[in-house]
Structures are given as C-alpha cells and as structure tokens.
Amino acid sequence: MQYFPFFQPIIDITRMSIVGYEALARTRSKDGEVVSIGALFSDPNFNRRDLLTIDRSVREQALAYFADSKQDVFLSLNLSPEWMDHVADNAPVPTIEMAKKLNVDTSRILIEFIEGAGDNGNMQKLLSRYRAAGMRIAIDDFGAGSSHLDRIIALEPDIIKLDMNLFKRAMSGGISQEVVQSIAYLARRTGSSLLCEGVETEQEFYFALECGARLVQGYFFWPALPEFIDSDAPKDIIRNLLDGYVERNLDREKQLMLYMQKMELYFLTVQSAVSGACLHHESLPEAPDGLLRVFLCHANGEQISPNYELLDEASNDSTSRVWFVDDRNLGSNWSMRPYFYQALAAKQLRHKNQVASQPYRDVRSGRMCQTIGKVLSGDRILFADVLCFGEEDKDIYGNSFYLR
C-alpha cells in the first residue's frame, strides 16, 4: 500500500492569503479513493514501528515537494510525542536531517506536535533541537482534556492550535467559550498566534475572529489537496467575509451603545433617589430590562446599604418587575473589585460621568455583567449591576441574587 502527503492550506486572515500548509498522510482505498490514515495512529493493533516508518516516509515526501515549490509559505509537519521518545539525545533528528538533505530553509518549517502525550522532559529537549535548527514550534489540539500549561511556559510555541472539539463546543457559549477566550488571552500574552482548525461554516469563521484567531484552516475554505494552490486564492473570500463581519458588529455596537446609554440615564435617576445610605426605590420609574440591583458603598469599600434587587413577580397572568431589599451584603468590602477603584479614579480625575467596569462573569449565575459606579457626596459610591448587552434576554430572575 502506498502512503503520500496531501496539503491543507493555512490562511492568515489579516493578509487574506495562504501562508502555510499542513502535511497530512493519505493512502488509497481499494476503490482508489484518497483517504486519511489518521485512524492508524490510534489503532493499538497496528505495528508502531511500521507506523513510524510510514510517518517518516510521508514527512520526507512532503519536504521534497516543499523544496521544489516556489511559493513563499511554510510547511507544518505533525510529530507525535511518541516518536520524540524514540530519538536519543545524541542521535540525529530525522526531520532535521531530511531538511538538510533536501536543502529546505528550516525557518519555513513548523514542527507541530500533538498536545497532551509523551514525556515532557524528552519533548522539551528535542523541541529545543528543532528550534536550534531554525524551525518553529506549534502545539496542536490545545485545550483538549490533557492540556498542560507548563508546556506553554516551557516551549513558548509560535502557534497554538485550538482543539477542534473545544472550538465547536465553545460556539454554544458557557464555560467552553470562556476557556477558549482564556486560551486566546494566553496566546496574546505569550506572543503566540492562535490557529483555529476545522472551520467548516461561515459562522465558525466568524467565531474564530471572535476568539482572536489570526490563522484558520478547514473545509470551509479547502480540504487537504494534492498540490499547493495560488496563495491569493482566498483573498476575495476573506475580504467579503470581513466586510460582513464589520457590518454585523457595527450594528451590534450601535445597539450596545444605546443599551448602555439607557442604563446610564436610569442610573442618573437612581442617584436622585439616594438619601444617606438608603434608596427611595418606591419613587423610581420602571427600570429597564437588564438592570439587576443597586447598592451603596463607603469610600473605603464597605457596603453601607442593602442590595436593592429587581425581581420578577407574577400576578393575574402577568409579570412585573419589583424591588426587593436584601441586607445580606451589608458590611461586605468590595474595594478589591476593579469597578470600585475605577469609580474612585474617575472622581479624582474629575470625570463628570459615571464609569462602567469591564464585563465579568458571575461564578453563581454564569452570566456576564458590568457594574456602573459614581462617587457621590459624603464619601459614598453608588453602584448598579447591569447585565451585558444580550444577556438581558435570558431568564435572569431566579434565586441567585448576587453577581458580586
């Protein structure tokens, strides 16, 4: 049976072009169809030495094709940590030797290893040898169940490839989405580029943008191909997608601004109903959807008022929002929260308007919110918790009263 490489394009969104290819092992079925041999790598009955021989053969074929190519792209080669454990400290590294023999510019080679397997010490030593040879490093399937943050710290990868299953789950929101956003933040902080693979739909492409990915690959653009194609092939596709992305987000941003403007205007009304450490909520007009609660703190961070909560109350086949007073947070100190010292900073800089915190997720309710703050006279600070735009449409008025 013959084994050979196919090449899946990797697209740089900012450049709107193909900047690299991932070499993937293929063979032919009995009816002549080209099929992946990926299943062999997880088949315990397939001889591992034979598999290593196949893998190295495909790798060398890919490098030979790459050496003959005139395109200014990189080639990504998958290396299992299992193979890394087979290379002794003093032995030649097969992939480096292949590149030398074929006169390949090693700076255009990306070594992509599967995250979560192999001996970390052996892997780190071998990857150091790849780096010394001028090759770059990528971590594949990052975010899968066996991910190790210590590898990010130790290996400082050039590219982090997000686990495909995690990426798709994250599109539904919840904790998976937060994990993906955390990985994106980690990539930015470590100087790594984030690559989302398995992009199969327009919505998945847009979600990759939301994740901060610069690189994408997947069937939405091209499957693995027998040859390289024109690097500018995705330009028109990407340009149209980015136009749609801007238009969609522009509309959402305008709605967000109007939403926050409505919240801040109501917050001004609330300020007029404050007396001492109390809020005369009975005199307030109906609150907009999304406003959760109001409370007062002293300038030292201690809460001096109850929580004035807005909850649903059902009566006569209708539901209305009513104020509920809860004093369980009296005396709590919120000075460590960013919204607290942001309000103080605005006061000291003589900003006239109230300030809104960055969005954050409540560990109890799981919802995203922001806190609006304004320093009043008498060393008091008025705060209001409001749901982030879009969250106000969800069922928020249950038994979990506190977002702080």
From first to last of its 404 residues, the chain has per-residue pLDDT tens of 899 999 999 999 999 999 999 999 999 999 999 999 988 888 889 998 899 899 999 999 999 999 999 899 999 999 877 777 777 778 899 999 999 999 999 999 999 987 555 556 677 788 889 999 999 999 888 876 555 566 666 678 899 999 899 899 988 877 788 788 888 888 888 889 999 999 999 999 999 999 889 999 999 999 999 999 999 999 999 999 999 999 989 988 999 999 999 999 999 999 999 999 999 999 999 999 999 999 999 999 999 999 999 887 776 777 788 899 999 999 999 999 988 998 999 888 887 778 888 888 765 556 789 999 999 999 999 999 999 887 755 543 333 333 34
3-state secondary structure of 188: helix
Q: Which fold has domain 3-233?
A: TIM Barrel (3.20.20)
Query: pTM to 2 decimals?
Result: 0.82
Calculate helix-pair angle for 120-132, 94-101, nearest 10 degrees. 20
First-to-last alpha carbon distance for the chain, in angstroms, is: 62
CATH of 255-393, one of 3.30.450.20, 3.40.50.80, 3.30.1330.10, 3.60.15.10: 3.30.450.20
Question: Which residue intervals of the chain bear CATH 3.20.20.450?
Answer: 3-233
pLDDT the model gives residue 153: 65
Strand-pair partners of 196: 162, 216
pLDDT the model gives residue 359: 86
- Cα separation, 228 vs 69, in Å, equals 8
Strands (E), 153-288: 159-162, 193-196, 215-216, 274-275, 278-279
- Tokens in use for 194? 């984030």
pLDDT the model gives residue 68: 96
SS (H, E, C) 315-350: ECCEEEEEEEEECCCCCCECCCCHHHHHHHHHHHCC
pLDDT the model gives residue 232: 97
Query: What DSSP character marks residue 77?
Result: E
For Cα atoms 131, 134, 135, give the angle at the middle one, nearest 5 degrees.
65
Which DSSP helix (H) or strand (E) runs through 299?
none
